[in-house]
Structure 1
Amino acid sequence: MAVIDTLGLPNTKGRRPLIVAQVVDALGTGLFLPFAVVYFHAAKGIPLTTVGLMLSAGALLSLPAGPLGGRLIDRIGPRGVLVASNLIRVLTFTAYVFTDTPWQLVVLVTATLWGDSLFRPAVFALVAQVAEDGQRARWYAMDRSLRNAGIGAGGLVGSTLVGWGGTSGYTAVVALNAVSFLLAAGLVATWRRTAVPRPVGAAPVPAGDAPEVRRGGYREVLADRAFLGVLATVWVFALCDLALTVLLSAYVIEARGLPAWQPGMLFAINTVMVVLAQTALAKAVERYRRPGVLQVAAVLWMVSFVLFALVPGEHVGLAFGGLVLGMVVFTVAELLQAPTSSALIVGMAAGHLRGRYLGLEELMWSLARVLAPTVFTWLLARGAGLPWLALCLCCLVAVVVLHRLHRVLPTHIQRETVDA
């Protein structure tokens, strides 16, 4: 246990099938994620511009999924929603193999994104149920570390299959992804909670995963003004996080004219840091107030954006050194923010409304995913430093909002005590 605690890992006794399910899901996602755009173009013969429109349409049509999923979580419990989200993606990825008609693929992409948007709040809600007192942030950190490791490993396997099999390799990647979702659904559906030893004085864990039987709705959630402030910071941090996948490669290659290998190296640095440091850093900051931790994350993101903006395009080696330094700072901010935000939102939510709180968090992320590509590319076309400046201003707003939350939120929400 001493080693587990040093690494910042939670107590997983009796809950290991859930962890295996997450790893299997992440491996399958990693198989397909690097080829999400290329698959429809290379294997289905659809023009890239049409693929972009398909994905954008799917993203817009899936915006209601988070709030509706939150309502379902509160009514039937997170495990049922989690299983359903995986089964939806089993069906859609299986269907990808048998169609190449754009309108049909738009329907399938939309359904897939609905499954994704149901999956994330359901996972966070289920973790909130099964985690021991004071260990939610550790669970969220472990989940994120495992998902990054699984996605990275899946990406390597997927690259091998595509390189070896061409179009058949793409089909194998999609089919294996469907199988991974089916396995994950089976593990979650058949898992049965067993009695877990609790620290002396700790509140018991409920025997089932059914939600509390109490009335409530989104009107009650939206009346929580402090939570509305948290949602604003979630949107800002989502934009910051998406800068890695949406903005950085275009900035490095197109705006600065640097070699195409550099973004791949930066992504690798990010992945390795998340896998190796996420849980330990989450443990290191768990004694601090969450709004303060998130303020530090926002400031570090601003520092990383300044470093990216100052990268010189004419000196490849110096530019890469600046990008690496910026990526290290960026990743530390990401490591601080991700589990802390999730734990803060779950801590603010009453049990019978937890799904709705998490559903609105997912909506903020979905809105950011819709807006980020258009806004970032529009700003980048008008000046290489403009996207980074805009992100810095957003982070400043988040710092101000978090300062107010630090003053108004009760201490037990701001900081979760870890039982010895």
Structure 2
Amino acid sequence: MHDVRVIGIRAFWSSLPTEGRWLLSTVAIQTLGRGLTLPFTIIYLHEVRGFDLGLSGTLMSLIAIAGLVVTGPGGSLTDRLGARTVLLAGCASMAAGNVLLAFATTPAGAAVALVLIGINFGVSWPAFNALIAAVVEGDLRQKYFGVNFALVNLGIGVGGIVGGLYVDVSDASTFTAIFLLDAATGLIPAALLLGPLRRVSGRAEPPDEDGTAEPPSYRAILRRPEVLWLSGLTFVAVFVGYGQFEAGFPGYGRQVAEVSTRVVGLAFAVNTAVIVVLQFTVLNRISGRRRTRVIAVMAVVWAASWLLLGAAGLVPASALAAIGMLAFMGVFAFGETLMQPTVPAIANDLASDHTRGRYNAISAGAFQAGAIAGPVVAGFLLEHDLASAYVGLMVVGCLGIAAMAYALERRIPPAANGVPGDAAIDPSAGAGDPAAPPAVVPD
């Protein structure tokens, strides 16, 4: 077993298998292209291609809708065909979508492009997490998810800065260039999967003698209480977290705290910086600790961040309001460094090797549902001048996450909760569902 308490990036890197190093080595470059386009797609549709703002917003929603629709089939295909095959299909869909979007001049063309991009997100998330789980095991897997998250944020953050400096709404070719670059960087995973990772399929045969048994269905997996609790926790966490990034947080900042758009943009930069700086330190501190307790701490941290945002709204159009906005994003980012390594690690440790695609698809579906519901509720409350109710709902949601984390702890095996060594046989460390299938600890 790997030494999970190593300190330092070099020691972490040396602990990874070769396949894990290949997967991690290009993450920031892959996501650089996404950062170039993510903040500017709606600007491109509205100000460059001339679609009205309502239509542009509807077109943008196609990414999430398409992703949610294909997540379930994507998880099944990951189990049946292997993560590598599904990821290659996702890469092709992403590249085609970005190339089409670069030259789209009609709403229909843009719609097809955005659906293709959404299909990639829907199938690649469960497939990529399943591939990680296939090559990295134990507590090292938790660290891997955390470092991967930090690198994703680094790539998107740098891409956003570069894109902001480069694109010009009076020159459509600048937007064409960033979408084409996004398509090119999105092909990097395909190059890895066709080259050094060509022998890593991410597919495991069901555990029977002749290898013909079908993997368990979604219905069978969703009968497990711990899966339902984890899915509910994920939904609420995204609802009060990432689901507020596109609408709730900027809307509150502009309408209630009355800060400039520059402050809003700077807050997102603070978020990225905190994640990149703190993630590895946090990973070392939470190694070997119960993941559900880490999630509970995250919930308290997020509740504090929302109270900071609420305080910013009490002193609108002031320096204190700006500080409150920046503090919210900084404290919230600290909470993200606690959530991102733990939730996917629990999901993959609950799964057996031949059901990882479905387990990750369920998590992805809960995430996407929260990301869709969050902006809708935020928009309604802020539009009706219910700012206090909005902040209060977010705080209550955070406290609910903590309660669900403790409920989840009583239902998952100690090993899935990140309890190492002898603690796994200590009844006080938490007990798993006695009806759960035996393959809850991978490898």
- TM-score, normalized by the shorter chain, greater than 0.5: yes
Which range is displaced more, 245-254 or 53-62?
Answer: 53-62
Which range is displaced more, 314-323 or 369-378?
Answer: 314-323
**Residue of 28, 32, 41 corresponding to 2:33:** 28
Specify the alignment match of 2:283 in structure 1.
Answer: 282
Q: Is the 8 A contact 1:380 1:386 kept in 2?
A: no
Shift of 1:98: 3.1
Shift of 1:125: 0.8
Q: Is the 8 A contact 1:149 1:275 kept in 2?
A: yes
Alpha-carbon distance in 1 for matches of 2:112, 2:106: 10
**Residue of 132, 138, 143 corresponding to 1:133:** 138
Shift of 1:22: 2.2
Specify the alignment match of 1:389 in structure 2.
Answer: 392
- Say which SS state the counterpart of residue 245 (structure 1) adopts: coil
What is the correspondence of 1:140-219 to structure 2 with a 5 Å cutoff?
140-163=145-168, 166-192=171-197, 209-213=202-206, 214-215=213-214, 216-219=216-219
Shift of 1:144: 0.7
Specify the alignment match of 2:225 in structure 1.
Answer: 225
Specify the alignment match of 1:199 in structure 2.
Answer: none
Q: Is the 8 A contact 1:58 1:106 kept in 2?
A: no
Alpha-carbon distance in 2 for matches of 1:193, 1:84: 14
Specify the alignment match of 2:303 in structure 1.
Answer: 302
**Residue of 81, 100, 105 corresponding to 1:100:** 105
Q: Counterpart amino acid of 2:205? A: E
Q: Is the 8 A contact 2:44 2:175 kept in 1?
A: yes
Shift of 1:348: 1.0
In structure 1, the gaps of 5 or more residues are 195-206
1:275-304 alpha-carbon deviations (Å, 9 max, x no partner): 111122022112211111111111111111
**Alpha-carbon distance change, 152 to 315 in structure 1, aligned in 2, over 3 angstroms:** closer
1:197-228 alpha-carbon deviations (Å, 9 max, x no partner): xxxxxxxxxx7532233521112111111110
Shift of 1:13: 4.6
Alpha-carbon distance in 1 for matches of 2:105, 2:369: 28
Aligned residues: 407
Specify the alignment match of 2:270 in structure 1.
Answer: 269
Shift of 1:62: 3.4
Alpha-carbon distance in 1 for matches of 2:176, 2:122: 24
Specify the alignment match of 1:238 in structure 2.
Answer: 238
Q: Is the 8 A contact 1:286 1:416 kept in 2?
A: no
Specify the alignment match of 1:201 in structure 2.
Answer: none
Q: Counterpart amino acid of 2:188? A: L
Q: Is the 8 A contact 2:47 2:169 kept in 1?
A: no
TM-score (structure 2 length as normaliser): 0.86
CA RMSD of aligned residues (A): 2.4
Alpha-carbon distance in 2 for matches of 1:18, 1:165: 38
Q: Counterpart amino acid of 1:14? A: T
Alpha-carbon distance in 1 for matches of 2:85, 2:338: 30
Q: Does 1 or 2 have the higher relative contact order (CA < 8 Å, sep 6+)?
A: 1
Q: Is the 8 A contact 2:257 2:317 kept in 1?
A: no
Q: Is the 8 A contact 1:88 1:115 kept in 2?
A: yes
**Residue of 301, 316, 319 corresponding to 1:317:** 319
What is the correspondence of 1:253-264 to structure 2 with a 5 Å cutoff?
253-264=254-265
- Say which SS state the counterpart of residue 177 (structure 2) adopts: helix
Alpha-carbon distance in 2 for matches of 1:2, 1:409: 21
1:361-413 alpha-carbon deviations (Å, 9 max, x no partner): 11112212222222111111231222221122222222222212222322111
Identity within the alignment, %: 27
1:100-156 alpha-carbon deviations (Å, 9 max, x no partner): 221232122112111112121111111111114320111101111111111122222
Q: Is the 8 A contact 1:242 1:372 kept in 2?
A: yes
Shift of 1:334: 1.1
Q: Is the 8 A contact 1:138 1:339 kept in 2?
A: yes
Specify the alignment match of 1:378 in structure 2.
Answer: 380
- Say which SS state the counterpart of residue 45 (structure 1) adopts: coil
Q: Is the 8 A contact 2:35 2:159 kept in 1?
A: yes
Alpha-carbon distance in 2 for matches of 1:51, 1:363: 24
Q: Is the 8 A contact 1:42 1:167 kept in 2?
A: no
Q: Is the 8 A contact 2:233 2:404 kept in 1?
A: yes
Q: Does 1:14 align with 2:15?
A: no
Q: Is the 8 A contact 1:29 1:151 kept in 2?
A: yes
Shift of 1:356: 0.5
Specify the alignment match of 1:407 in structure 2.
Answer: 410
